[in-house]
Amino acid sequence: MNIKLKLIGACALVGAFAATPASAEWAQSIGMGQKSTNMGNAGVASASDYDVWYTNPAGAANITRTTIGLGVKVLNTTNLENKEPGFNHGVDDTVTGSDNGYLPSVGAYVPGLLPNVVLGVGFGAPFALAAKWGNNPGVAGVLTPQGQNGFNPEGFQQVEVLTAEIAPTIGIKVTDKLNIGASVSFTTVKHLFVNIAVNTSPLGLLGATTSPLLAQTDDDLGLPIPPWEFATSPHEATYTIGAQYQLLPNVAVGATYREEMPVEYDLNLRVPVLDNALTGPHIESAKATTKLEIPRHLQIGVSVDVTPQLKISGDVKWTNWSNAVGVGSSLIVEIAPQAGNVLLGGAAAIPVNRLVLAHKGDDTYSFHLGAQYKVLPNLELQAGFIYDPAVFDTQNLSFLAYSSDRYVYSLGATLDLPDSALLGSNGDWEFTVGGQFIQYDDFNVAAGQSSTFGTTNSGTAALSTAPDVAFSANTSAFEGGGYIWTAGASAVYKFGVPEEVYLK
């Protein structure tokens, strides 16, 4: 199966932005703002761009003028490969209707309202993924729902999950060497949609007769961006704290910690129900809930001014995937009890109280290296590298856990246009552009090696009284690898003229 999982971001703050796919894991792996992305997401020791609400809130204290910034990344995942014998799937499009997606980010900061304090707010989407399977030729001579066009071998046709958050932020300059900061992130919009093909053939013997099992969040907010309708949860929140310290005149150290973010989804289900083995199915509605967690992480780093023109940054990031619900532990969909709660797979109609996807992710330590070089007083080049190890080993891979070691290469530049008459402003404009190449190690999984890949056969007599529909080992070998690329740009405007940073 050629699965291309894509990160999705959605942003609606002072206008509307497009929803987007991205890489096979979370946005927190590759950087939020474009300058951070160019730097390999390194630089917690010296962060001061508009995305400090996420990268390190202590960096807000470095902002001395009212500042607003926004950016957008274009992402393409069409070169990821994942195949197994007889199946070669592709993602036709995403919620944007194309191979490319767009990941926006926003930040605004105001210093001076309180002595030595900078207040701000950010908006972005650190957690999302989607896969929409394309045409599937199936296996010659085998009539199964998995052989129909538009479905992967496990019956999944489309999966979309996203959350976007707004984050009030504070940065405090405690001394001329020490900054501290914090942000509180509230889930602003979220969306979950799943479309699964269920075999509803009488007695399970008549081939590829299928009905869709649909799960979707309640829609209580319409926005002019795909996927158009969202649920809201302002009561869900997490926090990020950080510090920066000027250890030597040319050396700064920093750290940031983000707590896990719990996100709950209230789902509407449309479930195929077999009334009689000979008369076929009808559709029942049901209610369900599920919970995912964005994992906590801790990132520490150092920045060194090697020369007046050259700065080097190096960070290490620990991500606690193993404790994140739905990633390090099972993703569970609890279905409200009612008579119609059944799934089909043969002669027996089996009551289902919950669905279980038994993920088991491992904690990771990623390594980030970034460089900034001033080639002109108003032109800076940036480069970055990330080594990001796999979250899931081969024993725990599944069609929603595309994972292998990643090597991320970034390159970009920033142009400053101070007090630009050309742009008709009395402040400073800062434009950043850049791109990434993200290489995935090739991986091979033998038949039966992954314990979470396939679906159990819900038509067996042994499962007729089981409370769960769970997931089981892969029945055939599969392999993956490939790469994705991103390109992006950001614009930052700083009002007024520069001021000297000092303690009041």
pLDDT of residue 9: 21
What φ, ψ does residue 393 adopt, rounded to 5°? -85, 175
pLDDT of residue 329: 78
Burial of residue 15 (CB within 10 Å: 0-12, 13-18, 19+) is: exposed
What φ, ψ does residue 404 adopt, rounded to 5°? -160, 170
Tokens of 259: 């707590």
| Rounded alpha-carbon distances, angstroms, from residue 47 to 33, 40, 55 | 11, 13, 7
pLDDT tens per residue across span 329-357: 777 777 776 644 444 433 344 555 666 76
| Rounded alpha-carbon distances, angstroms, from residue 257 to 59, 106, 225, 329 | 13, 20, 31, 22
Is residue 384 in some structural domain? Answer: yes
Is residue 476 in some structural domain? Answer: yes
- DSSP class per residue in 177-217: SEEEEEEEEEEEEEEEEEEEEEE--GGG-SSS-EEEEEEEE
- Rounded CA-CA distance 488/412 in Å is 9
Tokens of 398: 């599944």
Is residue 295 in some structural domain? Answer: yes
Q: List beta partners, residue 119.
A: 110, 170
Tokens of 50: 């508009």
Q: Is the pLDDT of residue 457 over 60?
A: no
Is residue 277 in some structural domain? Answer: yes
pLDDT of residue 224: 58
H or E element in which residue 36 lies = helix 34-38
Domain count, the chain: 1
Lowest mean pLDDT among 14-28, 59-73, 156-170: 14-28
Is residue 142 in some structural domain? Answer: yes
pLDDT of residue 204: 44
pLDDT grade, residue 258 (50/70/90)? Answer: very high
Tokens of 209: 């007769």
C-beta separation of 200 from 145 below 8 A: no
C-beta separation of 73 from 488 below 8 A: yes
The domain of 317 spans 27-494
Q: What is the largest CA-CA distance in the chain?
A: 82
Is this model's pTM higher than 0.85 or not? no
Of the candidates 482, 480, 486, 481, the one whose C-alpha atom is nearest the C-alpha of residue 79 is 482
Helix, strand, or coil here: 194? strand
Q: How many residues does the chain have?
A: 504
Q: List beta partners, residue 290.
A: 265, 333
- Rounded CA-CA distance 124/106 in Å is 7
pLDDT tens per residue across span 366-402: 999 999 999 999 999 999 999 999 888 887 776 556 6
| Rounded alpha-carbon distances, angstroms, from residue 350 to 110, 150, 208, 278, 283 | 59, 26, 19, 16, 15
Tokens of 239: 């926090």
Is residue 237 in some structural domain? Answer: yes
Q: Is the pLDDT of residue 312 over 90?
A: yes
Identity of the amino acid at 117:
V
Q: Give the pLDDT mean for 409-434.
A: 84
Q: Give the pLDDT mean for 477-501.
A: 80
Is residue 205 in some structural domain? Answer: yes
- Rounded CA-CA distance 21/77 in Å is 8
Could you identify the residue written with the tokens 């394309």? 134
Q: Is the pLDDT of residue 314 over 60?
A: yes
Q: Is the pLDDT of residue 361 over 60?
A: yes
| Rounded alpha-carbon distances, angstroms, from residue 225 to 19, 222, 253 | 6, 9, 40
Q: Give the pLDDT mean for 250-257.
A: 97
Is residue 108 in some structural domain? Answer: yes
pLDDT of residue 148: 43
pLDDT tens per residue across span 27-79: 456 678 999 999 999 989 999 999 999 999 999 999 999 999 999 888 777 77
pLDDT of residue 352: 59
pLDDT tens per residue across span 108-131: 999 999 999 999 999 987 776 666
Looking up residue 173, the CATH number of its domain turns out to be 2.40.160.60
Across the chain, what does the average pLDDT equal?
A: 75
